Amino acid sequence: MDNELLQGVSREVESRGAMATFSGPFAGKPYKAYAVQAGASDVNLPLFLLISVPARLLRFLLAAWITAAIFNILLKQVKPRHKIVALCGFWIMFYACFLSVM
C-alpha cells in the first residue's frame, strides 16, 4: 500500500470513525488499512467489529446480486454447468483488472 492511500484512510477514520469502513470497499481501499487506522485512532473495537461486518458484506452482496442478475439475463438458455464456468471466468477477469488498477 502506498503512503497516499494510508494517509487518505487515516483522514477518513479521524473524521468519520468506524463508519469510514463503509466507503472503503467501494473505493477499492483494503479493509486492513481501515482496521489498522481504527486501532491507531482509538476507535472502539466492538463498534468497529460491529460496523465492519455489514460494511464488507454490503459490497459482496451487491456485486453478487448484480452479477447473478446479469448472468441470468444474458445466459438464460445456457446450461447451469456452463454458467458456473462463465461465472468463474468473469470473476477471475474482474479481479485481475481490479487488482492491476489498484
- Per-residue pLDDT tens for 73-82? 888 888 888 8
Render pLDDT for 51-91 as a digit per residue (tens, 0 to 9).
Answer: 888 888 887 888 888 888 888 888 888 888 888 888 888 88
Q: What is the mean pLDDT of the chain?
A: 86
Q: How many domains does the chain have?
A: 1
28 or 91, higher pLDDT:
91
Largest CA distance in the chain: 53
What is the DSSP code string of 9-28?
A: HHHHHHHHGGGGGGTHHHHT
Kindly report the number of other CB atoms within 10 A of residue 46's CB atom: 8
Q: Which domain holds residue 73?
A: 3-101
**For cell 446480486, what's the residue?**
65
Cell numbers linked to 55: 460494511
